[in-house]
Structure 1
Amino acid sequence: MPGLALPSLYAAPRAGRAFCAAAARLAVRSLYIELALYPKPGLVSLVDNGSHRDMHAGTFLRSLFALRHYFVRITRAGMDGAPFPVLRELGIAAERRMLAATGGVNTHRGAIFCLGMLCAAAGWRHGRGMAPSPAGLRRTLLAQWGHALGMHHGGAGGQSHGQRVAALHAVGGARAEMARGLPSVFELALPRLRSTLAAGRGERAARIDALFALMADLGDTNVYHRAGAAGALLVRQSAQAFLARGGTGADGWERMALDCHRRFVARRLSPGGAADLLAATCFVHQLDGMA
Protein backbone atom coordinates (compact mmCIF):
# COMPACT_ATOMS: atom_id res chain seq x y z
CA MET A 1 0.00 0.00 0.00
CA PRO A 2 1.78 3.21 -1.13
CA GLY A 3 2.45 5.84 1.50
CA LEU A 4 2.55 3.53 4.52
CA ALA A 5 5.59 3.92 6.74
CA LEU A 6 6.68 0.42 7.62
CA PRO A 7 8.59 -0.15 10.87
CA SER A 8 12.35 -0.38 11.16
CA LEU A 9 13.57 -2.92 13.67
CA TYR A 10 16.79 -0.98 14.23
CA ALA A 11 14.92 2.05 15.55
CA ALA A 12 13.81 -0.05 18.53
CA PRO A 13 15.71 -0.19 21.83
CA ARG A 14 17.92 -3.24 22.26
CA ALA A 15 15.42 -4.99 24.55
CA GLY A 16 12.69 -4.46 21.98
CA ARG A 17 14.86 -5.88 19.20
CA ALA A 18 15.64 -8.92 21.33
CA PHE A 19 11.96 -9.59 22.01
CA CYS A 20 11.04 -9.23 18.32
CA ALA A 21 13.77 -11.69 17.35
CA ALA A 22 12.71 -14.14 20.07
CA ALA A 23 9.03 -13.99 19.08
CA ALA A 24 9.95 -14.52 15.42
CA ARG A 25 12.06 -17.56 16.31
CA LEU A 26 9.09 -19.03 18.17
CA ALA A 27 6.80 -18.36 15.20
CA VAL A 28 9.15 -20.13 12.80
CA ARG A 29 9.68 -22.93 15.30
CA SER A 30 5.91 -23.37 15.63
CA LEU A 31 5.58 -23.76 11.87
CA TYR A 32 8.38 -26.32 11.90
CA ILE A 33 6.70 -28.19 14.77
CA GLU A 34 3.53 -28.43 12.68
CA LEU A 35 5.49 -29.64 9.64
CA ALA A 36 7.40 -32.29 11.63
CA LEU A 37 4.33 -33.73 13.38
CA TYR A 38 3.23 -37.20 12.21
CA PRO A 39 0.85 -38.91 11.62
CA LYS A 40 -1.05 -35.84 10.53
CA PRO A 41 -4.06 -36.70 8.36
CA GLY A 42 -3.75 -35.53 4.77
CA LEU A 43 -1.05 -32.97 5.53
CA VAL A 44 2.54 -32.56 4.37
CA SER A 45 5.12 -33.79 6.88
CA LEU A 46 8.76 -34.86 6.93
CA VAL A 47 7.52 -38.41 6.26
CA ASP A 48 5.32 -37.91 3.17
CA ASN A 49 3.43 -35.34 1.09
CA GLY A 50 -0.01 -36.20 2.45
CA SER A 51 -2.74 -35.36 -0.04
CA HIS A 52 -0.54 -32.94 -2.01
CA ARG A 53 1.18 -33.39 -5.34
CA ASP A 54 2.43 -29.81 -5.66
CA MET A 55 4.34 -29.49 -2.39
CA HIS A 56 6.55 -31.44 0.00
CA ALA A 57 8.60 -30.83 3.14
CA GLY A 58 11.30 -29.01 1.19
CA THR A 59 8.71 -26.56 -0.13
CA PHE A 60 7.65 -25.79 3.43
CA LEU A 61 11.23 -25.38 4.62
CA ARG A 62 11.95 -22.86 1.85
CA SER A 63 8.82 -20.98 2.88
CA LEU A 64 9.87 -20.96 6.54
CA PHE A 65 13.25 -19.49 5.63
CA ALA A 66 11.58 -16.78 3.53
CA LEU A 67 9.20 -15.77 6.35
CA ARG A 68 11.66 -15.40 9.23
CA HIS A 69 12.15 -11.62 8.81
CA TYR A 70 8.42 -11.03 8.40
CA PHE A 71 7.72 -12.25 11.91
CA VAL A 72 10.37 -9.89 13.29
CA ARG A 73 8.92 -6.93 11.41
CA ILE A 74 5.30 -7.56 12.33
CA THR A 75 6.21 -8.03 16.01
CA ARG A 76 7.97 -4.68 15.85
CA ALA A 77 4.97 -3.10 14.12
CA GLY A 78 2.73 -4.34 16.91
CA MET A 79 5.14 -2.91 19.47
CA ASP A 80 4.76 0.45 17.72
CA GLY A 81 0.96 0.19 17.87
CA ALA A 82 0.72 0.07 14.08
CA PRO A 83 -2.78 0.21 12.57
CA PHE A 84 -4.12 -2.77 10.68
CA PRO A 85 -3.27 -1.42 7.17
CA VAL A 86 0.43 -1.50 8.12
CA LEU A 87 0.15 -5.07 9.39
CA ARG A 88 -1.78 -6.04 6.27
CA GLU A 89 0.93 -4.59 4.02
CA LEU A 90 3.58 -6.56 5.88
CA GLY A 91 1.52 -9.71 5.39
CA ILE A 92 1.06 -9.08 1.66
CA ALA A 93 4.81 -8.59 1.25
CA ALA A 94 5.41 -11.82 3.19
CA GLU A 95 3.02 -13.68 0.85
CA ARG A 96 5.04 -12.45 -2.12
CA ARG A 97 8.27 -13.70 -0.54
CA MET A 98 6.64 -17.04 0.26
CA LEU A 99 5.42 -17.48 -3.32
CA ALA A 100 8.82 -16.50 -4.73
CA ALA A 101 10.54 -19.02 -2.47
CA THR A 102 8.14 -21.87 -3.30
CA GLY A 103 7.70 -21.29 -7.02
CA GLY A 104 4.15 -20.06 -6.59
CA VAL A 105 2.95 -22.71 -4.11
CA ASN A 106 0.79 -21.48 -1.23
CA THR A 107 2.33 -23.18 1.80
CA HIS A 108 1.66 -20.67 4.58
CA ARG A 109 -0.85 -17.98 3.58
CA GLY A 110 -3.13 -18.75 6.52
CA ALA A 111 -0.21 -18.93 8.93
CA ILE A 112 1.12 -15.58 7.67
CA PHE A 113 -2.22 -14.08 8.70
CA CYS A 114 -2.89 -15.73 12.08
CA LEU A 115 0.70 -16.09 13.34
CA GLY A 116 1.53 -12.61 12.11
CA MET A 117 -1.35 -11.08 14.06
CA LEU A 118 -0.33 -13.02 17.17
CA CYS A 119 3.21 -11.69 16.80
CA ALA A 120 1.82 -8.16 16.50
CA ALA A 121 -0.27 -8.66 19.65
CA ALA A 122 2.77 -10.01 21.51
CA GLY A 123 4.81 -7.01 20.40
CA TRP A 124 2.08 -4.58 21.47
CA ARG A 125 1.96 -6.12 24.93
CA HIS A 126 5.73 -6.25 25.35
CA GLY A 127 6.03 -2.60 24.36
CA ARG A 128 3.70 -1.71 27.24
CA GLY A 129 5.28 -3.96 29.84
CA MET A 130 2.55 -6.63 29.67
CA ALA A 131 3.14 -10.38 29.62
CA PRO A 132 2.17 -12.27 26.43
CA SER A 133 -0.28 -14.54 28.25
CA PRO A 134 -2.92 -16.35 26.17
CA ALA A 135 -5.77 -14.32 27.64
CA GLY A 136 -3.79 -11.12 27.19
CA LEU A 137 -2.95 -11.86 23.58
CA ARG A 138 -6.59 -12.47 22.77
CA ARG A 139 -7.70 -9.26 24.52
CA THR A 140 -5.10 -7.31 22.58
CA LEU A 141 -6.10 -8.80 19.22
CA LEU A 142 -9.72 -7.83 19.78
CA ALA A 143 -9.10 -4.44 21.37
CA GLN A 144 -6.46 -3.17 18.96
CA TRP A 145 -7.45 -4.69 15.61
CA GLY A 146 -10.74 -6.54 16.12
CA HIS A 147 -12.90 -4.15 14.09
CA ALA A 148 -10.41 -4.01 11.24
CA LEU A 149 -10.08 -7.80 11.23
CA GLY A 150 -13.84 -8.10 10.96
CA MET A 151 -13.81 -5.83 7.91
CA HIS A 152 -10.75 -7.48 6.32
CA HIS A 153 -11.31 -8.74 2.76
CA GLY A 154 -7.99 -10.41 2.02
CA GLY A 155 -5.07 -9.43 -0.16
CA ALA A 156 -4.70 -7.11 -3.10
CA GLY A 157 -5.94 -9.74 -5.52
CA GLY A 158 -9.51 -9.81 -4.15
CA GLN A 159 -11.20 -12.73 -2.49
CA SER A 160 -9.07 -15.76 -1.70
CA HIS A 161 -10.18 -19.36 -2.31
CA GLY A 162 -10.96 -19.54 1.40
CA GLN A 163 -13.23 -16.49 1.34
CA ARG A 164 -15.13 -17.71 -1.71
CA VAL A 165 -15.59 -21.14 -0.15
CA ALA A 166 -16.66 -19.60 3.17
CA ALA A 167 -19.36 -17.62 1.40
CA LEU A 168 -20.52 -20.61 -0.65
CA HIS A 169 -20.76 -23.03 2.27
CA ALA A 170 -21.67 -20.54 5.04
CA VAL A 171 -18.59 -21.34 7.11
CA GLY A 172 -16.48 -18.78 8.91
CA GLY A 173 -12.98 -19.27 7.53
CA ALA A 174 -9.80 -17.53 8.65
CA ARG A 175 -11.26 -14.03 8.50
CA ALA A 176 -14.13 -14.84 10.87
CA GLU A 177 -11.80 -16.80 13.15
CA MET A 178 -9.45 -13.83 13.47
CA ALA A 179 -12.30 -11.34 13.94
CA ARG A 180 -13.45 -13.37 16.97
CA GLY A 181 -9.98 -13.47 18.49
CA LEU A 182 -9.05 -17.01 17.38
CA PRO A 183 -11.54 -18.96 19.53
CA SER A 184 -10.40 -22.25 18.01
CA VAL A 185 -6.91 -21.60 19.37
CA PHE A 186 -7.73 -20.14 22.77
CA GLU A 187 -10.90 -22.05 23.66
CA LEU A 188 -10.35 -25.39 21.95
CA ALA A 189 -6.85 -26.38 20.84
CA LEU A 190 -4.78 -24.78 23.61
CA PRO A 191 -6.85 -26.31 26.46
CA ARG A 192 -6.70 -29.71 24.70
CA LEU A 193 -2.92 -29.46 24.23
CA ARG A 194 -2.37 -28.54 27.86
CA SER A 195 -4.76 -31.22 29.12
CA THR A 196 -2.76 -33.90 27.31
CA LEU A 197 0.50 -32.47 28.64
CA ALA A 198 -0.94 -32.47 32.17
CA ALA A 199 -1.84 -36.15 31.70
CA GLY A 200 1.85 -36.85 31.08
CA ARG A 201 1.59 -37.98 27.46
CA GLY A 202 4.20 -35.57 26.10
CA GLU A 203 4.39 -32.86 23.47
CA ARG A 204 3.87 -35.01 20.37
CA ALA A 205 0.68 -36.54 21.76
CA ALA A 206 -0.50 -33.12 22.94
CA ARG A 207 -0.08 -31.69 19.45
CA ILE A 208 -1.89 -34.63 17.86
CA ASP A 209 -4.83 -34.21 20.25
CA ALA A 210 -4.93 -30.47 19.58
CA LEU A 211 -4.91 -31.05 15.81
CA PHE A 212 -7.74 -33.59 15.99
CA ALA A 213 -9.72 -31.22 18.23
CA LEU A 214 -9.37 -28.53 15.57
CA MET A 215 -10.36 -30.90 12.76
CA ALA A 216 -13.39 -32.06 14.74
CA ASP A 217 -14.74 -28.54 15.19
CA LEU A 218 -13.41 -26.30 12.43
CA GLY A 219 -15.24 -25.37 9.23
CA ASP A 220 -11.96 -25.74 7.30
CA THR A 221 -12.18 -23.85 4.01
CA ASN A 222 -9.15 -25.76 2.70
CA VAL A 223 -11.19 -28.96 2.94
CA TYR A 224 -14.33 -27.39 1.47
CA HIS A 225 -12.28 -26.05 -1.45
CA ARG A 226 -10.79 -29.46 -2.27
CA ALA A 227 -13.68 -31.80 -1.40
CA GLY A 228 -16.88 -29.87 -0.73
CA ALA A 229 -19.31 -30.32 2.14
CA ALA A 230 -19.09 -34.13 2.03
CA GLY A 231 -15.32 -34.02 2.46
CA ALA A 232 -15.61 -31.53 5.30
CA LEU A 233 -18.12 -33.77 7.06
CA LEU A 234 -15.80 -36.77 6.72
CA VAL A 235 -12.93 -34.79 8.27
CA ARG A 236 -15.04 -33.71 11.23
CA GLN A 237 -16.54 -37.16 11.80
CA SER A 238 -13.15 -38.90 11.55
CA ALA A 239 -11.60 -36.50 14.06
CA GLN A 240 -14.58 -36.78 16.41
CA ALA A 241 -14.32 -40.58 16.31
CA PHE A 242 -10.60 -40.42 17.16
CA LEU A 243 -11.28 -38.17 20.14
CA ALA A 244 -14.31 -40.21 21.27
CA ARG A 245 -12.03 -43.25 21.57
CA GLY A 246 -9.78 -41.27 23.90
CA GLY A 247 -7.44 -39.57 21.46
CA THR A 248 -3.80 -40.22 22.29
CA GLY A 249 -4.92 -41.71 25.61
CA ALA A 250 -6.30 -44.77 23.78
CA ASP A 251 -4.33 -47.94 23.13
CA GLY A 252 -3.30 -48.03 19.50
CA TRP A 253 -3.86 -44.33 18.91
CA GLU A 254 -0.97 -44.08 16.44
CA ARG A 255 -2.50 -46.79 14.26
CA MET A 256 -5.88 -44.99 14.37
CA ALA A 257 -4.26 -41.69 13.40
CA LEU A 258 -2.32 -43.35 10.59
CA ASP A 259 -5.49 -45.03 9.29
CA CYS A 260 -7.15 -41.61 9.25
CA HIS A 261 -4.16 -40.20 7.37
CA ARG A 262 -4.44 -42.90 4.71
CA ARG A 263 -8.20 -42.31 4.30
CA PHE A 264 -7.65 -38.60 3.83
CA VAL A 265 -4.86 -39.14 1.30
CA ALA A 266 -7.06 -41.55 -0.68
CA ARG A 267 -9.73 -38.82 -0.89
CA ARG A 268 -7.25 -35.93 -1.29
CA LEU A 269 -8.47 -34.28 1.91
CA SER A 270 -6.10 -31.76 3.50
CA PRO A 271 -7.18 -29.83 6.62
CA GLY A 272 -4.70 -27.01 6.08
CA GLY A 273 -6.70 -24.52 8.16
CA ALA A 274 -6.40 -26.81 11.17
CA ALA A 275 -2.66 -27.08 10.52
CA ASP A 276 -2.28 -23.29 10.55
CA LEU A 277 -4.22 -23.03 13.79
CA LEU A 278 -2.15 -25.82 15.34
CA ALA A 279 0.98 -23.79 14.60
CA ALA A 280 -0.71 -20.76 16.19
CA THR A 281 -1.60 -22.87 19.24
CA CYS A 282 2.00 -24.04 19.61
CA PHE A 283 3.17 -20.41 19.33
CA VAL A 284 0.78 -19.18 22.04
CA HIS A 285 1.76 -22.07 24.32
CA GLN A 286 5.49 -21.37 23.94
CA LEU A 287 5.12 -17.60 24.16
CA ASP A 288 3.35 -17.93 27.50
CA GLY A 289 6.70 -18.82 29.06
CA MET A 290 8.47 -15.69 27.77
CA ALA A 291 9.03 -12.81 30.15
Structure 2
Amino acid sequence: MTAALERHSNQSRPSEARFPNSYEAEAISAIAVECLLRELATWPKPGLVSHVDSGSHSDMNFRTFQRSATAIKPYLHALAEAGAKGCGMGRLRIIGLEAEAAMFAATGGVNTHRGSIFGLGLLCAAAGAKAAGLADRTMPLGDVVVRLWGRDILDGPVLLHSHGDKARRHYGAGGARVEAAQGFLSVYEIGLPALQWGALIAPGDTEAARAQACFALIASLEDTNLLHRGGMPGLRYAQSAARVFLDDGGVGTRNWRERANIVHQSFIARRLSPGGSADLLAMTLFIQACEAELLPCRT
Protein backbone atom coordinates (compact mmCIF):
# COMPACT_ATOMS: atom_id res chain seq x y z
CA MET A 1 0.00 0.00 0.00
CA THR A 2 1.32 3.44 -0.86
CA ALA A 3 2.11 6.11 1.69
CA ALA A 4 -0.96 8.04 0.54
CA LEU A 5 -3.27 5.12 1.30
CA GLU A 6 -1.62 4.61 4.67
CA ARG A 7 -2.23 8.27 5.55
CA HIS A 8 -5.94 7.81 4.80
CA SER A 9 -6.23 4.66 6.92
CA ASN A 10 -6.58 4.93 10.70
CA GLN A 11 -6.65 1.20 11.43
CA SER A 12 -3.91 -1.40 11.61
CA ARG A 13 -3.97 -3.87 8.77
CA PRO A 14 -4.98 -7.43 9.73
CA SER A 15 -2.16 -9.84 8.97
CA GLU A 16 -4.48 -12.69 8.01
CA ALA A 17 -6.23 -10.85 5.14
CA ARG A 18 -4.52 -8.45 2.78
CA PHE A 19 -7.69 -7.32 0.98
CA PRO A 20 -10.49 -6.58 0.61
CA ASN A 21 -10.58 -4.59 3.83
CA SER A 22 -13.25 -1.94 3.56
CA TYR A 23 -11.04 0.72 5.11
CA GLU A 24 -8.49 0.30 2.30
CA ALA A 25 -11.17 0.71 -0.36
CA GLU A 26 -12.44 3.65 1.68
CA ALA A 27 -8.95 5.17 1.64
CA ILE A 28 -8.77 4.86 -2.15
CA SER A 29 -12.21 6.39 -2.69
CA ALA A 30 -11.45 9.17 -0.19
CA ILE A 31 -8.31 10.11 -2.12
CA ALA A 32 -10.27 10.05 -5.39
CA VAL A 33 -13.02 12.35 -4.11
CA GLU A 34 -10.44 14.65 -2.54
CA CYS A 35 -8.79 14.95 -5.96
CA LEU A 36 -12.12 15.74 -7.62
CA LEU A 37 -12.66 18.52 -5.08
CA ARG A 38 -9.13 19.87 -5.51
CA GLU A 39 -9.72 20.06 -9.26
CA LEU A 40 -12.98 21.90 -8.57
CA ALA A 41 -11.22 24.31 -6.19
CA THR A 42 -8.71 25.37 -8.85
CA TRP A 43 -9.14 28.79 -10.50
CA PRO A 44 -8.74 30.08 -13.13
CA LYS A 45 -9.37 26.99 -15.28
CA PRO A 46 -10.42 28.10 -18.78
CA GLY A 47 -14.16 27.64 -19.27
CA LEU A 48 -14.52 25.24 -16.33
CA VAL A 49 -16.63 25.30 -13.17
CA SER A 50 -14.85 26.29 -9.95
CA HIS A 51 -15.59 27.80 -6.55
CA VAL A 52 -15.34 31.24 -8.19
CA ASP A 53 -17.74 30.89 -11.12
CA SER A 54 -19.46 28.43 -13.43
CA GLY A 55 -17.24 29.01 -16.46
CA SER A 56 -18.98 28.27 -19.75
CA HIS A 57 -21.81 26.36 -18.05
CA SER A 58 -25.31 27.57 -17.28
CA ASP A 59 -26.63 24.23 -16.01
CA MET A 60 -24.11 23.48 -13.26
CA ASN A 61 -22.09 25.20 -10.56
CA PHE A 62 -19.75 24.52 -7.65
CA ARG A 63 -22.54 23.02 -5.51
CA THR A 64 -23.62 20.72 -8.36
CA PHE A 65 -20.13 19.25 -8.53
CA GLN A 66 -19.92 18.89 -4.76
CA ARG A 67 -23.18 16.93 -4.67
CA SER A 68 -22.00 14.79 -7.56
CA ALA A 69 -18.66 13.97 -5.95
CA THR A 70 -20.42 12.93 -2.73
CA ALA A 71 -22.92 10.81 -4.65
CA ILE A 72 -20.32 8.82 -6.59
CA LYS A 73 -17.95 8.13 -3.68
CA PRO A 74 -19.61 4.80 -2.70
CA TYR A 75 -19.16 3.57 -6.26
CA LEU A 76 -15.49 4.55 -6.35
CA HIS A 77 -15.21 2.50 -3.16
CA ALA A 78 -16.97 -0.39 -4.92
CA LEU A 79 -14.63 -0.09 -7.91
CA ALA A 80 -11.60 -0.29 -5.62
CA GLU A 81 -13.04 -3.43 -4.04
CA ALA A 82 -13.86 -4.91 -7.46
CA GLY A 83 -10.29 -4.33 -8.62
CA ALA A 84 -9.00 -6.01 -5.49
CA LYS A 85 -11.17 -9.04 -6.18
CA GLY A 86 -9.85 -9.35 -9.74
CA CYS A 87 -13.16 -8.47 -11.39
CA GLY A 88 -13.27 -8.03 -15.14
CA MET A 89 -14.33 -5.01 -17.16
CA GLY A 90 -17.94 -6.21 -17.28
CA ARG A 91 -18.33 -5.83 -13.53
CA LEU A 92 -16.55 -2.48 -13.53
CA ARG A 93 -18.96 -1.21 -16.20
CA ILE A 94 -21.97 -2.21 -14.11
CA ILE A 95 -20.63 -0.27 -11.13
CA GLY A 96 -19.85 2.66 -13.41
CA LEU A 97 -23.42 2.74 -14.71
CA GLU A 98 -24.71 2.67 -11.14
CA ALA A 99 -22.40 5.60 -10.36
CA GLU A 100 -23.77 7.54 -13.34
CA ALA A 101 -27.33 6.95 -12.15
CA ALA A 102 -26.39 8.25 -8.69
CA MET A 103 -24.70 11.27 -10.28
CA PHE A 104 -27.74 12.15 -12.37
CA ALA A 105 -30.01 11.73 -9.35
CA ALA A 106 -27.84 14.12 -7.33
CA THR A 107 -27.54 16.74 -10.06
CA GLY A 108 -31.00 16.68 -11.54
CA GLY A 109 -29.84 15.03 -14.75
CA VAL A 110 -26.68 17.08 -15.30
CA ASN A 111 -23.52 15.28 -16.45
CA THR A 112 -20.83 16.48 -14.07
CA HIS A 113 -18.53 13.48 -13.63
CA ARG A 114 -19.18 10.87 -16.33
CA GLY A 115 -15.59 11.12 -17.58
CA SER A 116 -14.19 10.90 -14.07
CA ILE A 117 -16.40 7.94 -13.20
CA PHE A 118 -14.82 6.14 -16.14
CA GLY A 119 -11.17 7.19 -15.88
CA LEU A 120 -10.80 7.79 -12.16
CA GLY A 121 -12.94 4.73 -11.53
CA LEU A 122 -10.51 2.56 -13.48
CA LEU A 123 -7.62 4.03 -11.51
CA CYS A 124 -9.44 3.25 -8.24
CA ALA A 125 -9.87 -0.33 -9.44
CA ALA A 126 -6.17 -0.46 -10.31
CA ALA A 127 -5.25 0.89 -6.87
CA GLY A 128 -7.41 -1.83 -5.33
CA ALA A 129 -5.67 -4.47 -7.45
CA LYS A 130 -2.27 -3.23 -6.31
CA ALA A 131 -3.35 -3.19 -2.66
CA ALA A 132 -4.51 -6.78 -3.06
CA GLY A 133 -1.22 -7.90 -4.56
CA LEU A 134 -2.72 -8.57 -8.00
CA ALA A 135 -0.14 -6.24 -9.53
CA ASP A 136 3.40 -5.32 -8.58
CA ARG A 137 3.44 -2.44 -6.13
CA THR A 138 6.06 -0.64 -8.22
CA MET A 139 3.87 -0.77 -11.34
CA PRO A 140 2.27 2.57 -12.27
CA LEU A 141 -1.51 2.58 -12.01
CA GLY A 142 -1.83 3.29 -15.72
CA ASP A 143 0.11 0.14 -16.53
CA VAL A 144 -2.11 -1.85 -14.17
CA VAL A 145 -5.18 -0.63 -16.07
CA VAL A 146 -3.63 -1.71 -19.38
CA ARG A 147 -2.57 -5.12 -18.09
CA LEU A 148 -5.86 -6.00 -16.42
CA TRP A 149 -8.48 -4.34 -18.63
CA GLY A 150 -6.82 -2.69 -21.64
CA ARG A 151 -8.27 -4.86 -24.41
CA ASP A 152 -11.74 -4.96 -22.88
CA ILE A 153 -11.85 -1.17 -22.54
CA LEU A 154 -11.72 -0.77 -26.33
CA ASP A 155 -14.16 -3.62 -26.94
CA GLY A 156 -16.88 -2.04 -24.81
CA PRO A 157 -20.22 -0.66 -26.04
CA VAL A 158 -20.32 2.75 -27.70
CA LEU A 159 -22.33 5.42 -25.86
CA LEU A 160 -24.39 6.72 -28.78
CA HIS A 161 -25.81 9.63 -26.79
CA SER A 162 -22.51 10.74 -25.25
CA HIS A 163 -21.26 14.09 -26.55
CA GLY A 164 -17.70 12.84 -26.22
CA ASP A 165 -18.33 9.70 -28.26
CA LYS A 166 -20.17 11.68 -30.93
CA ALA A 167 -17.23 14.07 -31.24
CA ARG A 168 -14.77 11.17 -31.22
CA ARG A 169 -16.57 9.46 -34.09
CA HIS A 170 -17.04 12.66 -36.09
CA TYR A 171 -13.50 14.01 -35.74
CA GLY A 172 -11.55 10.78 -35.30
CA ALA A 173 -10.24 11.85 -31.89
CA GLY A 174 -9.00 9.20 -29.47
CA GLY A 175 -11.27 10.05 -26.57
CA ALA A 176 -11.43 8.70 -23.04
CA ARG A 177 -11.42 5.01 -23.94
CA VAL A 178 -8.24 5.22 -25.99
CA GLU A 179 -6.64 7.30 -23.23
CA ALA A 180 -7.49 4.61 -20.67
CA ALA A 181 -6.53 1.67 -22.89
CA GLN A 182 -3.10 3.24 -23.39
CA GLY A 183 -2.53 3.67 -19.67
CA PHE A 184 -3.40 7.38 -19.34
CA LEU A 185 -0.35 8.59 -21.22
CA SER A 186 -1.58 12.18 -21.06
CA VAL A 187 -1.38 12.01 -17.27
CA TYR A 188 2.10 10.53 -17.16
CA GLU A 189 3.62 12.49 -20.05
CA ILE A 190 1.84 15.84 -19.65
CA GLY A 191 -0.16 16.23 -16.45
CA LEU A 192 2.35 14.96 -13.90
CA PRO A 193 5.42 16.73 -15.34
CA ALA A 194 3.44 19.99 -15.56
CA LEU A 195 2.19 19.58 -11.98
CA GLN A 196 5.75 19.05 -10.76
CA TRP A 197 7.05 21.95 -12.87
CA GLY A 198 4.32 24.22 -11.52
CA ALA A 199 5.35 23.36 -7.96
CA LEU A 200 8.92 24.37 -8.80
CA ILE A 201 8.14 27.69 -10.49
CA ALA A 202 5.43 28.68 -7.98
CA PRO A 203 6.71 27.20 -4.71
CA GLY A 204 4.17 26.95 -1.93
CA ASP A 205 1.18 27.60 -4.23
CA THR A 206 -0.53 24.27 -4.84
CA GLU A 207 -3.36 25.91 -6.78
CA ALA A 208 -0.78 27.34 -9.20
CA ALA A 209 0.68 23.87 -9.78
CA ARG A 210 -2.79 22.52 -10.55
CA ALA A 211 -3.48 25.38 -12.94
CA GLN A 212 -0.17 24.75 -14.72
CA ALA A 213 -1.14 21.10 -15.21
CA CYS A 214 -4.60 22.08 -16.43
CA PHE A 215 -3.24 24.48 -19.04
CA ALA A 216 -0.67 21.92 -20.17
CA LEU A 217 -3.38 19.30 -20.66
CA ILE A 218 -5.59 21.73 -22.60
CA ALA A 219 -2.66 22.68 -24.83
CA SER A 220 -1.94 19.07 -25.78
CA LEU A 221 -5.15 17.07 -25.54
CA GLU A 222 -7.64 16.42 -28.34
CA ASP A 223 -10.42 17.16 -25.87
CA THR A 224 -13.70 15.76 -27.19
CA ASN A 225 -15.64 18.20 -25.00
CA LEU A 226 -13.99 21.08 -26.85
CA LEU A 227 -14.71 19.39 -30.17
CA HIS A 228 -18.36 18.97 -29.20
CA ARG A 229 -18.76 22.62 -28.22
CA GLY A 230 -16.54 24.37 -30.74
CA GLY A 231 -15.61 21.90 -33.45
CA MET A 232 -12.06 21.82 -34.75
CA PRO A 233 -11.73 25.65 -34.70
CA GLY A 234 -12.71 25.66 -31.03
CA LEU A 235 -10.21 22.95 -30.18
CA ARG A 236 -7.41 24.71 -32.03
CA TYR A 237 -8.24 28.04 -30.37
CA ALA A 238 -8.21 26.45 -26.92
CA GLN A 239 -4.92 24.65 -27.52
CA SER A 240 -3.29 27.81 -28.87
CA ALA A 241 -4.50 30.03 -26.03
CA ALA A 242 -3.28 27.55 -23.43
CA ARG A 243 0.07 27.20 -25.19
CA VAL A 244 0.58 30.98 -25.29
CA PHE A 245 -0.10 31.16 -21.55
CA LEU A 246 2.49 28.45 -20.90
CA ASP A 247 5.06 29.90 -23.28
CA ASP A 248 4.75 33.29 -21.58
CA GLY A 249 5.84 31.80 -18.28
CA GLY A 250 2.78 29.93 -17.08
CA VAL A 251 2.26 30.21 -13.34
CA GLY A 252 5.85 31.33 -12.87
CA THR A 253 4.92 34.97 -13.48
CA ARG A 254 3.72 37.37 -10.80
CA ASN A 255 0.44 38.14 -12.57
CA TRP A 256 -0.34 34.59 -13.69
CA ARG A 257 -3.87 34.62 -12.27
CA GLU A 258 -4.78 37.75 -14.21
CA ARG A 259 -3.35 36.25 -17.41
CA ALA A 260 -5.08 32.92 -16.81
CA ASN A 261 -8.38 34.71 -16.15
CA ILE A 262 -8.12 36.47 -19.53
CA VAL A 263 -7.92 33.05 -21.17
CA HIS A 264 -10.76 31.83 -18.95
CA GLN A 265 -13.00 34.72 -20.02
CA SER A 266 -12.17 34.10 -23.69
CA PHE A 267 -13.32 30.49 -23.32
CA ILE A 268 -16.55 31.65 -21.67
CA ALA A 269 -17.19 34.07 -24.54
CA ARG A 270 -16.84 31.15 -26.98
CA ARG A 271 -18.72 28.68 -24.71
CA LEU A 272 -15.69 26.39 -24.70
CA SER A 273 -15.23 23.93 -21.85
CA PRO A 274 -12.32 21.44 -21.76
CA GLY A 275 -14.05 18.86 -19.61
CA GLY A 276 -11.72 16.07 -20.68
CA SER A 277 -8.74 18.06 -19.45
CA ALA A 278 -10.52 18.65 -16.12
CA ASP A 279 -11.07 14.90 -15.74
CA LEU A 280 -7.41 14.23 -16.50
CA LEU A 281 -6.35 16.87 -13.98
CA ALA A 282 -8.25 15.01 -11.26
CA MET A 283 -6.63 11.76 -12.41
CA THR A 284 -3.22 13.44 -12.35
CA LEU A 285 -3.78 14.47 -8.75
CA PHE A 286 -4.92 10.95 -7.85
CA ILE A 287 -1.91 9.27 -9.43
CA GLN A 288 0.43 11.78 -7.81
CA ALA A 289 -1.13 11.03 -4.40
CA CYS A 290 -0.90 7.26 -4.89
CA GLU A 291 2.50 7.11 -6.58
CA ALA A 292 4.45 9.96 -4.99
CA GLU A 293 7.32 7.66 -4.07
CA LEU A 294 7.56 6.36 -7.67
CA LEU A 295 7.59 9.70 -9.53
CA PRO A 296 10.89 11.34 -10.50
CA CYS A 297 11.26 15.03 -9.79
CA ARG A 298 11.65 17.23 -12.87
CA THR A 299 14.72 19.44 -12.84
**TM-score normalized with structure 2 length:** 0.88
Matched, 1:185 2:187: yes
Deviation at 1:176, TM superposition (A): 1.1
Say if 1:129 and 1:227 are closer, same or farther in 2 by CA, change over 3 A.
Answer: closer
Tell me which residue corresponds to 2:276.
273
Name the CA distance, whole Å, in 1 between partners of 2:222 and 2:239.
Answer: 9
Say if 1:175 and 1:252 are closer, same or farther in 2 by CA, change over 3 A.
Answer: same
- The residue identity in structure 1 corresponding to 2:82 is A
Tell me which residue corresponds to 1:172.
174
CA contact (8 A) 1:79 1:127 kept: yes
> Which of 231, 234, 237 is matched with 2:240 structurally?
237
What SS does structure 1 have at the residue aligned with 2:229? Answer: helix
- The residue identity in structure 2 corresponding to 1:22 is A
Give the superposed CA RMSD.
1.9
- The residue identity in structure 2 corresponding to 1:28 is V
Deviation at 1:290, TM superposition (A): 8.7
CA contact (8 A) 2:76 2:124 kept: yes
What SS does structure 2 have at the residue aligned with 1:181? Answer: coil
Name the CA distance, whole Å, in 1 between partners of 2:90 and 2:134.
Answer: 24
Structure 2: which 5+ residue stretches go unaligned? 1-16, 295-299
CA contact (8 A) 1:132 1:288 kept: no
> Which of 28, 48, 53 is matched with 1:48 structurally?
53
> Which of 62, 67, 76 is matched with 1:62 structurally?
67
Matched, 1:285 2:283: no
Deviation at 1:201, TM superposition (A): 4.9
**TM-score normalized with structure 1 length:** 0.90
Q: Percent identity?
A: 43
Deviation at 1:75, TM superposition (A): 0.1
> Which of 154, 170, 184 is matched with 1:150 structurally?
154
What SS does structure 1 have at the residue aligned with 2:21? Answer: helix
- The residue identity in structure 2 corresponding to 1:141 is V
CA contact (8 A) 2:194 2:216 kept: yes
CA contact (8 A) 1:16 1:127 kept: no
> Which of 82, 89, 104 is matched with 1:84 structurally?
89
Q: Choose 199-208 or 160-169, whichever is displaced more.
A: 199-208
What SS does structure 2 have at the residue aligned with 1:121? Answer: helix
Name the CA distance, whole Å, in 1 between partners of 2:293 and 2:102.
Answer: 28
